[in-house]
Every structure is written in structure tokens, then in C-alpha cells.
Structure 1
Amino acid sequence: MHDTNLLQLITDDFAPAQQLLDLLQQESLALHGRDMPLLEAILARKQGLIILLEQHGRRRSEVLASLNLPTDRSGLEQLAAHSGIGQELLAQSDVLNQLLEDCQVANERNGRSILVQQASTAHQLRILNGGESPTLYDARGSTAMLVKPRPLSQA
């Protein structure tokens, strides 16, 4: 009974995990296009899917814990060893784990993209604000006087 319940919980997560992966791929495109309204919509949908997947993960852990089994892969393997659907249970768990790993890789890639864009934006703002003034030389070979930062309206 617990094994079929656990299998159902695993297979129920396939659709949300795939939707999350699709959203992360859409997010990547929206990040490159700097489409803020689309990014906001994606973020809202992502948060809902992440909460759902976390809840289902807790339920799976609770099922294993109720059987006094570890709440990780070893607990699942112990349950599978005593179940008629043990091989299917492990196979479906592997499929779900792969989907979630793909989501993690896509999320990390999007995170790196965000960091690059933040650095680029910060650099552009420093230029516009007259931030770090360059070390320039005048006709005599000495350093020129430092330029005062300008307001954006004068950049």
C-alpha cells in the first residue's frame, strides 16, 4: 500500500517538474531579451510549482519516515526491495530526479545570466554617473585633475 502511494506521489510530480523546466527555459529567453513583464509572470508561476514540488517531496519523506526508513534514496531502495513494484518505483524515482536535476542546471544557468546582466548594468551606471574617473595625463605628462561626477542629466 505504501509503495503504490509513494509511486503515485512520484508520478504526480512529473507534470509540475516538466512545467518548471519549461518555465526555466522560457525564463532564459526572457532574461536575454530583458522582457520584464514576462519575467514577472514566469516568476509567479515558478513559485507556485516550486511550492507544490516541495510539498510533494515532504509527503514522500513522510511516507518513508512512517515506515521507519531513511528519507533518502537508501530508504526508497529498502522499500523497493520488499515491494512487488520495487523496480518501477526506483525507475520512476530516477526519472523524477533527472527532471529535477535538469531544472537545477537550468536555474543555475539563469542565475549566471542574471549576474552577468547585473554587472553590465552596474558598469553602465558607473559610466553614466561619472564614477571611477580614469587616470589621464596632460600635455606635461602629469596626471590630469580628477573630473567631478556629473549628474545623469549632463552625461
Structure 2
Amino acid sequence: MRMWSVTPAALDAKALVACWRESLLAQAVLLGKTKGYVHHPQLTRFRETPDPVVSIATFLSYVADEADRRGYHFNRERIVQMPDPSISIDVSDAQLAYEWQLLLIKESQRDTKAYRSMTAMPVGCNPLFRVVQGAIAPWEHVLDLDALDELSVLGSFPRH
């Protein structure tokens, strides 16, 4: 499960669809409708908000906005609460940078043309998040990005 902190505009089609689906799963978990994923670390930042369900609904709405811009049809009726654009969740600059590097490595495997254009993009975040100075989030399972990058060059980077 990966609910990207980076702007949905930076996600390729596969990543955007995966983010939507995994965020819908997160919504179900936060509503208590699943037995699995209840301790998933990606849910921590949503659980730490005053209203986790509204927070994930707001996140989903921003993902759906990007889908709309691309002409995709994500069913907004699956978002169970009204989004609240006035809320924000802090994300550290280090967390955002880590996720950006992880996304670049994944993209280098999927689409080299898109990867090249991404390397020229400024790093942006999902509008739900507010960037603050800090370290990578304690809930993040940090991977050795240098090792992953070497694996991607060899073509053995795991595809999702």
C-alpha cells in the first residue's frame, strides 16, 4: 500500500490507478470494514488527524481530481465522506524527497521517456500535505535507494 505524498500529477497512469485503489482500501481499513492492513504504517499519518476518514476522503478527492484532468473516470461515489480542502497533514521535506526518489526508480523501469521528463520536474506534494522541514517519517520502511537503483539498471527491480 502506497499513498504517495508527491503530487498526483507526477504519477504515471499505473501509479495513479494503484494510488486510487490502495487509498480506497485505506478508507475501508479506517472505517473498520476490513480485517487486513489494520496496522499498515501508511495509515499512521491519517490516524493521527482529528478525523482520519475525512482526511483519507480529502486525499482521494485530490487523486480523483488528477484523474479527471487526464480524462480518466474514477468513481467519486466510492469516497464515503465529503472532502475538506481546508485540512492539511504535515509531510517532511525528507519524506517527500524519499518518495520522489522511490517514484523515479519505479518510473525508470516502466517508462524511460516519462522518467526523463520527471527528472526535470520540481518535486510537489499532494495538496492534502503541507511540507515542513524534518526527517523521513518514522512509519516509513526505508529502502536502500542506491541498491534499488542498481537493481533497476539490471532490470531486476520488482515491478508492482
Q: TM-score, normalised by structure 1?
A: 0.29
Higher strand share: 2
Higher helix share: 1
